[in-house]
């Protein structure tokens, strides 16, 4: 623990301090009384899993979110921010994970759009060139953004912030989109900014990076601050443990589920991304028997979305044999054909992917049910059948809604998720691929959904669950594999998959023999 900051050789003057900063959304605490202190000439890591509250905290510091309780001190004085412009005026800059650049404008034009426009375009361009050279972030102001690589685009964002000469920089997962080489270059720049006396808040979940770069680290979990520590004195394993939680929940004793024939087989699946920021899937193989639940852990953006699309048939594979559903080669089959083989899919995004938000539940039942149930006769929709599915899902999964057949968007997250899972389970699938089954749903709905998955497996279906919630996977999965950079690790039996091991795999640290714990907590 390091709360006084006495471990630093630098002066004790605190640049930014938050005291009991709390952000409440309804009954949900996104940030729960967070105290954090950042000093000049410090690179301070903010570590945590998705949903730990990192984004909420930095958005509050940048003035995008008003805190519900608590206060912020800037150079010892109380700070209330009316918006990001207020933060920028004080010298707080932020580089977002998602770039906001206009592809068809030049570098200089993009930068000009973010500034106040008090200096002439020519003077601004000259300053842009000077700043970019000074910090070793080479940029040609006249080039149009669409011609630039992702790394170069990020440079624009960084230079744009540096041109405002900030005292304090927030970087949100800056290396998420960079190659290792580009990341190394970025670290040199960050070291330099630090040596100039600026403070940096560095959001990441990559443990090696944090150990290498950061002076201090604050770890968040479930909206609470877990600890502030010196990452160089910690091991990747100890950081991972703090990040994902030390207390190991009692894993639900797996009943003697009968595992049967392989229902879902993936053979050496490799798939290039179809989007610039996509992840390349590399040599993924797995075998999943009936009655079994396989969990896939991993930090978001490591290929889970791409893997889901490949399994569902939203993206096709050239080689039919890469995906085998219930004994049928299916790599080349459309999602409708795969559904006809008995597969069902629940994507991560409820609105816009799993359902059409502005359509009724009965129409959304039709969305996935049209292929393989009695909802369509000779091209005509059997409205009674679609409504019956809504009623059955409502009854079996306790979907609460204002009327019999409302628009999908009007349901709460938990109720809509229950409907979506119910819609698929009611089709009695032999294979269910489900992504983030309880992401952002209330505890009651989460319990219903997890129980439904366990029941379906008990009935003989093979279930593949992708989740970032390790507690969830520990509760329901028989085996857990980790996805990192498009590769899938060997599955571990859930009992052997302690958090440390999983955390290391998720952070991309290769397992060395001494890291493998010989004693397992469960």
Partner 1 sequence: MQLVLEKRAERSTVIALISPLIAIGLTIVTMSILFVIIGKNPIAALNVYFITPLTDAYSLQELAVKAAPLVMIAIGLSLCYLANVWNIGAEGQFLVGAVAGSWLAVKTHGTDAGAWVLPAMLLLGAIAGALYALIPAICKVRFGASEILVSLMLVYVADLLLDYLVRGPWRDPAGFNFPTTAEFDPVATVPLLLEGGRLHLGTVIALVIVVAAAVLLGRTIKGFEIRVVGAAPRAARFGGFSSNQLVLLTFAISGALAGLAGIIEVAGPVGHLQPGISPGYGFTAIIVAFLGRLNPVGILIAGLFLALTFIGGEQAQIAMKIPLDITKVFQGILLFYVLACDSLILYRIRLIMPQRKAADGAA
Residue 414's H or E segment, with its range, is helix 413-425
Q: Closer CB to partner 1, residue 150 or residue 409?
A: 409
Return the C-alpha torsion angle 376, 378, 383, 389, nearest 10: -20
Contacting partner 1 within 58-87 (CB under 8 A): 80, 82
- Cβ 437 to partner 1 shortest distance, Å: 16
- Cβ 108 to partner 1 shortest distance, Å: 28
Q: List the x/- string, 248-287, binding to partner 1 by CB under 8 A.
A: ----------------------------------------
- Cβ 345 to partner 1 shortest distance, Å: 7
Contacting partner 1 within 398-417 (CB under 8 A): 407, 409-410
Q: Closer CB to partner 1, residue 192 or residue 404?
A: 404
User: How many angstroms separate the CA atoms of 12 and 32, rounded?
Assistant: 26
Contact residue for partner 1 among 29, 356, 387, 459 (CB under 8 A)? 356
Structure tokens given for 317: 């594979």
Q: List the x/- string, 156-185, binding to partner 1 by CB under 8 A.
A: ------------------------------
Contact residue for partner 1 among 379, 443, 514, 518 (CB under 8 A)? 379
User: How many angstroms separate the CA atoms of 216 and 226, rounded?
Assistant: 14
Q: Closer CB to partner 1, residue 82 or residue 519?
A: 82
Distances (CA, A) of 393 to 19, 39, 292, 324, 381: 46, 54, 23, 29, 19
Structure tokens given for 82: 């009316």
**Numbers of helices and strands, H then E, in the chain:** 16, 23
Confirm if 57 and 222 have CB atoms less than 8 A apart: no
Q: Which stretch binds partner 1 (CB under 8 A): 33-41, 262-270, 273-281, 354-362?
A: 354-362
- Cβ 38 to partner 1 shortest distance, Å: 23
**Apex 67 CA angle, 69 and 169, nearest 5:** 130
Token pair 């375009």 is found at 121
- Cβ 413 to partner 1 shortest distance, Å: 14
- Cβ 521 to partner 1 shortest distance, Å: 39
Determine, following the binding rule CB under 8 A, whether residue 368 of this chain makes contact with partner 1: yes
Contacting partner 1 within 308-347 (CB under 8 A): 312-314, 334-336, 339, 345, 347
- Cβ 174 to partner 1 shortest distance, Å: 28
- Cβ 64 to partner 1 shortest distance, Å: 14
HEC string of 40-104 equals CCCEEEEECCCCCCHHHHHHHHCCCCCCCEEEEEECCEEECCCCHHHHHHHCEEEECCCCCCCCC
Confirm if 214 and 202 have CB atoms less than 8 A apart: yes
At 225 the three-state DSSP class reads strand
User: How many angstroms separate the CA atoms of 184 and 199, rounded?
Assistant: 19
Q: Give φ, ψ of 28 to 5 degrees.
A: -90, 130
Contact residue for partner 1 among 367, 385, 387, 495 (CB under 8 A)? 367
Contact residue for partner 1 among 224, 332, 353, 392 (CB under 8 A)? 353
- Cβ 366 to partner 1 shortest distance, Å: 6
Burial 294-306 (b: 16+ CB within 10 A, else e): bbbbbbbbbbbbb
- Cβ 48 to partner 1 shortest distance, Å: 28
Question: What is the size of the binding site for partner 1 (CB under 8 A)?
Answer: 33
Q: Closer CB to partner 1, residue 257 or residue 353?
A: 353
Q: Alpha helices, DSSP H only, in 252-349?
A: 304-312, 335-340
- Greatest CA separation found in the chain? 78
In DSSP terms, 148 is beta-bridged to none
User: Whole-angstrom distance between the N-terminal and C-terminal Cα of the chain?
Assistant: 28
Determine, following the binding rule CB under 8 A, whether residue 442 of this chain makes contact with partner 1: no
Q: Which stretch binds partner 1 (CB under 8 A): 107-115, 158-166, 322-330, 366-374?
A: 366-374
In DSSP terms, 45 is beta-bridged to 202, 217
Q: Closer CB to partner 1, residue 348 or residue 498?
A: 348
Q: Which stretch binds partner 1 (CB under 8 A): 243-251, 288-296, 373-381, 494-502?
A: 373-381
Q: Closer CB to partner 1, residue 23 or residue 487?
A: 23
User: How many angstroms separate the CA atoms of 312 and 117, rounded?
Assistant: 49
- Cβ 365 to partner 1 shortest distance, Å: 11
Q: Closer CB to partner 1, residue 345 or residue 397?
A: 345
- Cβ 379 to partner 1 shortest distance, Å: 5
Contact residue for partner 1 among 380, 510, 513, 519 (CB under 8 A)? 380
Q: Give φ, ψ of 301 to 5 degrees.
A: 85, 15
Q: Closer CB to partner 1, residue 189 or residue 381?
A: 381
Q: Closer CB to partner 1, residue 295 or residue 313?
A: 313
Determine, following the binding rule CB under 8 A, whether residue 376 of this chain makes contact with partner 1: yes
In DSSP terms, 23 is beta-bridged to 31
Q: What share of the chain is helix, strand, coil (3-state, %, to 5)?
A: 35, 25, 40
Task: Find, among 411, 386, 387, 385, the residue nearest to 398 by Cα.
Answer: 411
Residues that bind partner 1 (CB under 8 A): 80, 82, 312-314, 334-336, 339, 345, 347, 349, 352-359, 363, 366-368, 370-371, 376, 379-381, 407, 409-410
């Amino acid at each position: 623990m390091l709360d006084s900051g006495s471990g630093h050789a630098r002066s004790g003057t605190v640049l930014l301090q938050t005291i009991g900063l709390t952000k409440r959304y309804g009954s949900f605490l996104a940030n729960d009384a967070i105290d954090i202190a950042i000093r000049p000439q410090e690179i301070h890591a903010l570590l945590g899993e998705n949903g730990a509250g990192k984004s909420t905290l930095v958005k509050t510091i940048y003035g995008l979110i008003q805190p519900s309780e608590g206060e912020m001190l800037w150079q010892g004085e109380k700070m209330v921010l009316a918006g990001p412009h207020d933060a920028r005026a004080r010298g707080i800059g932020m580089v977002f994970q998602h770039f906001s650049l206009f592809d068809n404008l030049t570098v200089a034009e993009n930068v000009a759009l973010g500034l106040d426009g008090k200096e002439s375009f020519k003077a601004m361009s000259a300053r842009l060139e000077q700043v970019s050279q000074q910090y070793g972030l080479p940029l040609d102001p006249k080039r149009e953004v669409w011609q630039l690589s992702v790394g170069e685009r990020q440079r624009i964002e960084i230079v744009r912030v540096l041109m405002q000469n900030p005292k304090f920089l927030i970087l949100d997962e800056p290396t998420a989109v960079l190659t290792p080489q580009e990341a190394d270059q970025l670290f040199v720049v960050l070291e330099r900014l630090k040596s100039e006396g600026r403070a940096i808040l560095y959001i990441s979940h990559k443990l090696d990076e944090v150990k290498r770069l950061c002076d201090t680290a604050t770890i968040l979990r479930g909206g609470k601050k877990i600890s502030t520590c010196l990452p160089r004195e910690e091991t990747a394993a100890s950081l991972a443990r703090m990040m994902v939680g030390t207390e190991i929940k009692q894993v639900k004793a797996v009943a003697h589920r009968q595992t049967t024939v392989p229902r879902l087989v993936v053979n050496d699946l490799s798939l290039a991304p179809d989007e610039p920021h996509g992840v390349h899937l590399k040599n993924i193989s797995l075998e999943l028997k009936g009655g079994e639940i396989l969990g896939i852990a991993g930090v978001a953006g490591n290929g889970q979305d791409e893997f889901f699309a490949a399994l569902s048939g939203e993206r096709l594979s050239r080689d039919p044999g890469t995906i085998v559903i219930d004994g049928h080669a299916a790599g080349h089959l459309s999602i409708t054909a795969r559904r006809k083989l008995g597969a069902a899919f629940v994507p991560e995004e409820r609105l816009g992917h799993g359902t059409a938000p502005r359509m009724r539940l009965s129409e959304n039942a039709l969305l996935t049910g049209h292929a393989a149930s009695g909802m369509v006769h000779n091209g005509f929709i059997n409205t009674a059948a679609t409504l019956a599915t809504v009623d059955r899902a409502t009854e079996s999964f306790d979907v609460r809604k204002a009327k019999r057949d409302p628009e999908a968007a009007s349901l709460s997250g938990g109720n809509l998720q229950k409907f979506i899972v119910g819609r698929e389970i009611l089709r009695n699938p032999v294979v269910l691929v489900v992504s983030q089954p309880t992401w952002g749903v209330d505890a009651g709905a989460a319990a219903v959904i997890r129980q439904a998955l366990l029941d379906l497996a008990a009935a003989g279906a093979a279930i593949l669950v992708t989740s970032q919630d390790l507690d969830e996977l520990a509760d329901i999965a028989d085996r857990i594999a980790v996805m990192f950079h498009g590769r899938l690790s060997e599955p571990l039996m859930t009992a052997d998959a302690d958090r440390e091991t999983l955390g290391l795999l998720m952070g991309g640290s290769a397992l060395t023999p001494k890291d493998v714990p010989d004693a397992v907590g469960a």
